[in-house]
Amino acid sequence: MKNALPLIIGLTLLAQAVVAAPISFDFKDSKGVNNIIFKLDAPLEAINGTTTDISGTVLFDPANPGAVTGKILVAAASLKVPNPVMKEHLDGKMWLEVAKYPEISFEAVSTSNVKTTANVTTADLTGNLTIKGVTKKIVVPIKLTYLKDKLKARSPTLNGDLLVLRSNFTIKRADFGINPGQGEEKVSSDIAL
């Protein structure tokens, strides 16, 4: 019994270390409810679009939520807009050139101004956004909600945790070579995401 006590303490510490490790969250969503919405609001037209073709992996540590890392990916051709002519332009060479640049990505680099209350963390997330082959370092506000043991509530056949990411920010289409300076009365130079 004397020799068993260090083993039990060692196993308890190992179990605690495993629990405290970052959790990997896969953002490929078979239900198709994960989404990104974009809006270009110009004087003559407002264009809204969306996609649910989101994938990627994010590492999140509930004990250290400011240490979030990972990469979110979007299939550029999956972006939907209201009509076929807009879609043709969006996918074409002057806009996203999806045949040459099939993926849009955001890779988390660091966080600042991290504040956590219960299971909700807000922060400024610095990351690399890549669109149409152009990568820019940007800072976006982010809200992370960690939902322990809630995967089953969303998908009854699965067990695990959920991580909800929310962010609203604006980019300039010219910064990414997306038809810069053209048609700004009809298509805003700002893209709200």
User: What confidence tens digit (pLDDT) does each residue in 12-64 have?
Assistant: 333 344 456 899 999 888 778 889 999 999 888 889 999 999 999 999 999 99
- CA-CA distance, 138 to 124, in Å (whole number)? 10
CA nearest 94: which of 177, 175, 192, 185?
177
φ/ψ of residue 118, rounded to 5: 55, -120
Per-residue pLDDT tens digits for 84-107: 999 999 999 999 999 999 999 999
- The pTM of this model reads 0.86
Predicted pLDDT at 185: 80
- Dihedral sign from CA coordinates of 167, 177, 189, 53: negative
The pLDDT mean for the chain works out to 88
φ/ψ of residue 114, rounded to 5: -75, 130
Q: What is the DSSP letter of 119?
A: T
| % the chain with pLDDT above 90 | 69
